[in-house]
Every structure is written in C-alpha cells, then in structure tokens.
Amino acid sequence: METAAMVNTVIKHYDHPMRSATSRPLTKFDSTTTIQVVRKFIENEDDFPSSFYYSVEIYNRDHKHYFKLDDRYIQLYKPFNCVDIMINGQSTLPKPKLIKIRVTWIETNNNDEGGVIRENTGQEALDEQSNFDKHNDGQSKIDEEPLNIDSSIGWFKLPEDSETDSIPSSPGLLDDVSKCRPTSAERAVPDDNEMTSTSIRCGLKNMGNTCYMNVILQMLANITVLKDWISRNDHRTTCQQSEICALCWIEETLKGMHQKCKNELKPGLVPVYEPKSFYEKLEVLSSQFKKGTQQDCMELLLSLFNHTKESSILFDIFKFQSQRVTQCEKCKTSEPGPIENNTIMQCSIPQPIVCSLEDCLDSYCEKELLTGDNAYQCDTCNSKQDAETKIEICSTPQVLLIALKRFQANNQGKLHSAVTYEEVLHLDNWLSKYCSAKITKNHKIYHLSAVIIHRGNGMESGHYICYVKNEITNEWYEANDDSFKKAEFVFDMKKEVCLLCYVRSDLSKSIVADNNTQATGISDMKTMFVL
C-alpha cells in the first residue's frame, strides 16, 4: 500500500536581526506544499521582523547548489513528494528524507514598502532543460543520520553530530573546477564563518587615498566562489609565505569584514571595517603603492595576482586563456601562436563619444594587417606574405574581469568616452571555434556582479566607488569607502566605468527573467546599463 509521507524540513536563517545563523526551525511539509505555504510558516513565527523582507532557497543535493524556491521549482523537482510503501503496516523508507531551506533576510530602506514581503518573480537558472527532465522525479535522498522525531508535536530534533550543522551555503563548482568543491567530509565540518551564506554588507575605512584599494576588496568580497573556498579552507595556516602571499591577505581581510558584519550589523547601522593589515602590506607588492598616494585599482589587482601562486584559487577563478592566430593572405593557412594565461581582459576604449562594451571587446580581439616591413613569414609559402592576425579567447573563466583603459600613458589624462553595457554578456563572438564547440551554452554567458567607477580627470586624483550586486535579491549596493547603501538599478555614470566583474552563468544565482528562454533555464533578456 502506498501512502504520501510528510517530508522533514529544516529551515535555517541568515542575516536575521534576532537570530544567529545556527537557528533552525523544524517542520514537515507534504506533496501539496506550495511556496505560499512555506512563506506562511516563516511569517507566522513569533520573531518575524516587520522591517525586513526575505528570500527563500532550497538545497538541491544532486546539483550541490541552493536554488530559489518557488512554485516552478516545486513543480519541476517535486522536493516535498515522498511515497512510502507500507508492507504489513510497516514503513519501507530506510530513513527520513530531509529537505534544507535557507532564508536570507534583507533590511528594507525608506524606498521600500515597510514590512512588505517581496515576492520573487524572476525565473531561476536551475540548469539546462536536459537536467530538468533528468531530476523531475524528485531529489535524491540525503545521507543523514536518522532523525529523532517527536510525533506528538509533529516536529523533530537533529542529532548533535548531524551533517545539517553545516549546510552547504553556496554553489558548488562544476566538474571542470572540482578541486575547489568541498568533499563530503569537508561539508560535514561545521562552518564557523558561514561567509558564503550571507552578503558582506560592510563599509571600509579610507586610511588616506585608499579608495582604489577599498573598491577591489569590496569586489572580491562579493564573489561567492572565492568566499566559498576561503570559508572551507584555512590557507593562511598552511602557507609558508604568508607575509608576501596576496591570497593570505585577502583571506584575512574578507574574514575580518564578515566578522565585523556578524558582530555589528544592526537595523539602520552599517559596520565599518578597517583593512589596516592589508594596507600595511601594499608596499610589499610594489614601491609604487606608497602610503597616502592615489593609485590605479587595476594596477593593484594585477599586483595581487603577481604575488599569488598560479596554482592558487585566484587563478582558478579568474584565469582565461587567449591565443594569437595569424592567417596568410595568399595560402589562407592559419598559424596559432602560443597559449597565454590571463587574469584581466584589458580593453582599449574606441574614441567615439559613445561606444558599447562589445566595441571594447572587438578592440581587444581586433584584426591587424601585417604588411610591408611587418609582413608575415609564412612557413607554407616559405616567404614573406601579407597576413591578418587577431586574438581569440580559448577558455572562459569562472569570473571575468574586464578593465577599460581610461588612463592614458605618461599622465596624459583620462578618456571620458561613454561606455554602455548590459547585465548579461554573451562571449560567443570572441571565442575561438574550438573553445566555442567544446563548452556548453551556460559557459559562454555571464551575469554582471560588480562595477567599479572612477570620478575625476586623472589617475593621481579623483575617487573610486564600487557597486556590487546581491545575487540572492538581485539588488545593487553602493560601496563608497565607509558607506554601504542600496543603489538605483540603473546608473547614469557612462563616462566613469573602469572595471567590470562578470560571473559565469553556471556559477551565478543572479537571474534576469525572460519567459522566452525557459527551455534552457538561462535568460537572454538584456538590461541596459549606461555608465
């Protein structure tokens, strides 16, 4: 005899003003559960904060990833379906099925409707449709210790050594970056930092022209893949060169920022962290980073990469490969050059008054003619020939950094050309044919995660500001030294953008809704930013 079973569900809260992240309300849901039922349970709790709204996510064990919980997800994955076959009155279920739900709380500001819970309407990139079909029969059972269920009250208690004490809190990396993914044993270890489960909403003190440093730290603090690795690894304790290792400095600073938020984040009050230790080490990178001097944030970022081993997580996250390919005009033979490893795509800005990011990428990969004294030595023709050469991108990084070259050489000033760009970036046009053929669609699409702007007329003057996007709520925040506040979705700073940070769509939870692309689970709707 088959019966519909109730599914044990643990709900864990993050950024709740009156609870710690270890607070775990426990309940049961059945196959008739909708998102409204889940929200009603959350909102009926005694300590519901009226000045906050929240997002609800569910952990998918098959994908090792949290996804937004809505009725579409429930329909596709049927997480609360559990059929028990009774034999002679005895259940055949080997152990209770456990569902994990994460609730993240966000404080409203004056522009919000006070106390109103915002309903998420955007479609979540659950995965490509082929994976939908594969898992539609429900989630795999979670390997947990049997739960101590108190049937008299319909709630249950977790054993003290339950794996649930450490709920995975960020997207696991996919197979091509599996070395960054925590093992089952690592997931079972309680995570004291819980850094990837919360956004780091923290200002940074300006210690004297350090805005160029602060914006880079804010951008790094918003990269979930990096926070995930830092929270699950203690690199500093094993590194033999911590005094000169930039990864050690970044780890220390991001953990410090997170701890500051955890201890001091209160309604209406933004904590401010002083990255003093990081600042004290800057001259180790280069003598150009003298205290009290204004610097180029991109130069700082490049110096950080130069002081990190190529085998480190920083290179795993930001590295992409490029190759110069030259084609002889006479015999049409193409000759690929050596593969080069890069961490930042440094693009020149075309001179028109207004150009697009695509124009800048075209400039990065622009074709050049080799003629006259600069003619190409063709091995096939065994002679000098006119030729065409261009750069092709041979791999797609987890996080793509695009720097726009606004500062001209020899202190010749700053280019103020306007650059427009979109929230979703498709890299297809700049990939090599081999790369484009071997990777999936969601490895070619990127979602905007952070924007850095520079106000002023030159590198030695002016001010940097960073804008970061909360992947859970899709809201933008302005990080301006010790200020950290909500920002408008569209900015009017088209002449000031200098660094863009995009996260690959298979790793990003940031979704732009588009009903026309539900088949792939990835949105192609383009929201224009003019910076």
Domains identified in the chain, total number? 2
Tokens of 336: 């690929």
Which residues 6+ apart lie within 8 Å of 44 measured at CB?
A: none
Please indicate, yes or no, if residue 92 is contained in any of the structural domains: yes
Query: 66 - beta bridge partners?
Result: 59
Tokens of 478: 């302005």
**pLDDT at residue 328, as a whole number:** 93
Which residue matches tokens 């205290």? 291
**Tokens coding 14:** 């993050």
At residue 362, the pLDDT reads 92
pLDDT at 249: 94
User: Cβ–Cβ contacts within 10 Å for residue 190, how many?
Assistant: 10
User: Which stretches of the chain drop beneath a pLDDT of 50?
Assistant: 1-2, 110-193, 511-531
Measuring CA to CA, how many Å separate 230 from each of 173, 194, 223, 247? 14, 10, 11, 9
DSSP single-letter state for residue 166? G
Task: Write down the pLDDT at residue 318.
Answer: 96
DSSP result, 391-442: EEE----SEEEEEE--BPGGG--B---EEEEESEEE-GGGB-HHHHHHS-GG
Residue 478 is predicted with a pLDDT of 94
Task: Tell me the CATH number at 44.
Answer: 2.60.40
- Do 214 and 302 share a structural domain? yes
pTM strictly above 0.75: no
Distance CA 297, CA 514 (A): 35
Token pair listed for 456: 């002023």
Does a structural domain hold residue 443?
no
Asked, for residue 118, whether it belongs to a domain, the answer is yes
Q: For residue 245, give the nearest of 312, 193, 327, 194 by alpha carbon.
A: 312
pLDDT at residue 130, rounded to an integer: 37
Helix (H, G, I), strand (E, B) or coil at 502: strand
Q: Determine, yes or no, domain membership for 374.
A: no
Q: How many CA within 13 A on the CB side of residue 389?
A: 17
Contact 239, 248 (CB under 8 A): yes
Judge whether 401 lies within some domain: no
Q: Distance (Å, rounded) from C-alpha 157 to C-alpha 424?
A: 43
Determine the pLDDT at residue 298: 93
pLDDT at 95 (0 to 100): 55
Last residue of a domain, one of 275, 307, 339: 307
Same-domain status, 212 and 121: no
**Helices and strands, counts by H and E, the chain:** 14, 29
Task: Return the amino acid letter for 329.
Answer: E
Kind plus residue range of the DSSP H or E element containing 318: helix 313-318
Residue 276 inside a domain? The answer is: yes
Give pLDDT, residue 199: 79
- Which of these three, 281, 307, 333, is where a domain ends? 307
Is there a domain that residue 208 lies in?
yes
d(CA 106, CA 51): 9
Q: Is residue 261 part of a domain?
A: yes
Q: Is 22 exposed, middle or buried (0-12, 13-18, 19+ CB in 10 A)?
A: exposed
End position of a domain, from candidates 109, 125, 141: 125
Q: Where in the sequence is the domain holding 303, given as residue range(s)?
A: 203-307
